[in-house]
Every structure is written in C-alpha cells, then in structure tokens.
Amino acid sequence: MNRAPFSFYEFFAGGGMARLGLGEGWDCAFANDFDPVKAATYRANFPDAQRHFHEGDVWKLSADDLPGRADLAWASSPCQDFSLAGARAGLKGGRSSAFFGFWRLIEGLAAAARAPRTIVVENVGGLLTSHGGRDFAALAQALAAQGYRFGALEIDAAAFLPQSRPRVFVIATREPPPEVLVGASPFHTRAVQAAAAGLPAELAAHWIWWRARQPLPRNTDLAALLEPDDAVAWHSPERTARWLELMAPLHRARLEAFRARGERAVGAVYRRMRVEAGARVQRAEVRFDGVAGCLRTPRGGSSRQVIAVVEDGRVRTRLLTPREAARLMGLPESYRLPAAATSALHVAGDGVAVPVVRWLAQEILEPLLGGAGAVREVRSATGSR
C-alpha cells in the first residue's frame, strides 16, 4: 500500500510485543511501562526507544506528554484482577485500575481534539465476566462516552502458536466500519456473546460484531519449538519422580500409556490447585496434544511450566527455558531477553502473543484505518476462509 505508516501509542507496553505484532507498517509515537525490567527489555530491542519510550506510572502522565494524534492506542492493562487466579477485584482492583489511568489520558486527548481513531484493550477472559459483567459494562460506558463504537473478540493464541492463551481484545473506533469488517466470526465466543447481550440498551447500540476470519491451520507444535535434548538441563530422577507423584490418576495414566508404547512423546506439565474430597490439593497435569499451557509470570498461580519427555520407556522432566517461552509468544530469535531467567520469563509471560496482534492488524485494524480501498487490497492479498 502506498501510504505513510499508521501511528500508535502503546500503553503497558512490556517488552513491546504489540509493537512487534503491528509490524513495520506502524510507527510508535509513544510507549510506556512502569516495570524497570520490562522497560530495560523494551529499550534493548528497539533502538528508537529514547525518542518515544517513557518509563513510569501511567497516572503520572498527561495528555501533553503524548505527541500528535495517533491512529491507534493499544492498552494491555494489568490483568491480575480479572484473572481466574486472582482476587477478581475487577476494575476497582489496585492493578487493573491502571486502566483508568490510561483512560484519563484518552479523555484528555479527546478534549484537545486528538483522540485516537481506534483503541484496542487487551486482557484476560475475566474482563467479560468480572462482577457479573458490570466491569465490562463500565469499560463499554467509558468508550461510548467518548464517541467510540466497539466490539470484542476472544482469541486463543493456540490458533497461531502451540500455546493455549485465550485473551479478549476490545476494538473500538470513532469511525463507521466498512461493511466487510462486520459480521460473523469464530472469535465471537459464548463469553463474548453473553457480554454483548448483558449490556444495557444504550450501550448495546454502540456494539460492533467485528468480522475476523478463521486463520489457516497452525503448522507447528510444542516439540518443534524446544531446544535439543542435549542443550538443556534435565531434572534428577528423584525430582522427576516427585512430579509424577503429583499427577492425578488420569494424567498419570495418560503418561504411562505413552511409556508403554515406547514412542517419543513431548508434553507440557503445569501445576493446579484442585479440590479433592473437600480439600485443596496441588496436582501436576500433563497434556500431550502439542500445545503448552498458558505461560504465566514466575510468581503467577501455575508458576514455571515443565516439559516432560517420554521415550524408550523412561520419563524425563525439565523446566521450560526462557528462549522457549519467547518462541511460544511468537518472539523472533533475535529478541533480546533479560539475562536472569526469572526476569525473562516475567517479560514473556506478561506479554501479548505477537502473531495474534499481527492477525488483528491484518484483519481489522489496517483495513479499518486505511478505508474501503485498503479492505479490498488486504482481503484480496490474504484470501478468505
């Protein structure tokens, strides 16, 4: 397309994964994050960070700190209070309330006639259901009050990467969307439909059913992204035995079936708290479907993920490496991770999957911002499903 790059602000930018997903057709006018490790990682990967990156609390920014008028404002605000693993405090929670720090800036931009043309709010699925849908309604009210129409998609990164990572993307626009961008989508999950149905009439009038097509089938699995066996440190037999002891009978039987067949099988193991006979019990659960469980930050509820390899009648286990975690987020091999494993896993586990962002940009954001001609060009270039 013969046009200047789109411009965007990236709030709660982390290691810049939304920027990577948007790609070279987008110019980052401003980015921020308050976490020193993430800020250092962002600077290490983007040489122009000195021009536009601000390290600090979003509440300490003002609209005057943001240059020009951006085509897009992307906000991956802290998700802990919406997560099923968290306290479900909702938008009033100490972390997720950072969203309102971001929204205060959007209101300031609007007052100066510089409101972004589009907004994307990315978060966990709990955003749709927190406090019986009242938090989602509060988000919808904020968007509608500033003249935005909006809709939501729930996309699992497993459609693009071998990682189960469902996330909600609320896409808002101040401009009428082309008809080709409105319609049915496989990403209108039951949760999205329920959230839309639960909105009061005055907010439902602002709803858009964004049309995003089914992507081509994923062509890689977990095993393809792992380091060679001889390049990683494996657990001792005793530690592996402890992991096996933590497994519920169903998961242990699944593993033993592969061991009996003698073939190589690669699985992802993660810890869960389960209620058994009225008591909370920690369990290890394994999946052999070629997909890793959702990556978490090291201090998150499921902690660091473990790889289990069954081969020649034996079982070996080890920790997922930071580079493997980066691959599961769609980060390129050239991406610079923090040297400390915990920091690297924190950056990766707290980010947004890069290919999902690229898909959204291709399917909705670029056609929306580029107009009808851009819709035709993108649809023709990518085909349909």
**pLDDT tens digit sequence for 43-77:** 999 999 999 999 999 999 999 999 999 999 999 98
Assigned CATH topology for domain 6-216+352-382: Rossmann fold (3.40.50)
> CA–CA separation, 175 vs 311, rounded Å?
56
Q: Give the per-residue pLDDT at 90.
A: 55
pLDDT of 201 strictly over 90: yes
pLDDT at 277 (0 to 100): 86
State both tokens at 374.
């851009």
Residue ranges matching CATH 3.40.50.150 in the chain: 6-216+352-382
pLDDT at position 300 is 46
Q: Which strands form 118-123's sheet, in the order they lie side by side?
A: 53-55, 26-33, 6-11, 72-75, 118-123, 166-173, 149-156
**Is the confidence at residue 306, as pLDDT, over 70?**
yes
Which amino acid makes up residue 343? S
User: Do β-strands 279-287 and 265-276 pair in parallel, antiparallel, or remain unpaired?
Assistant: antiparallel
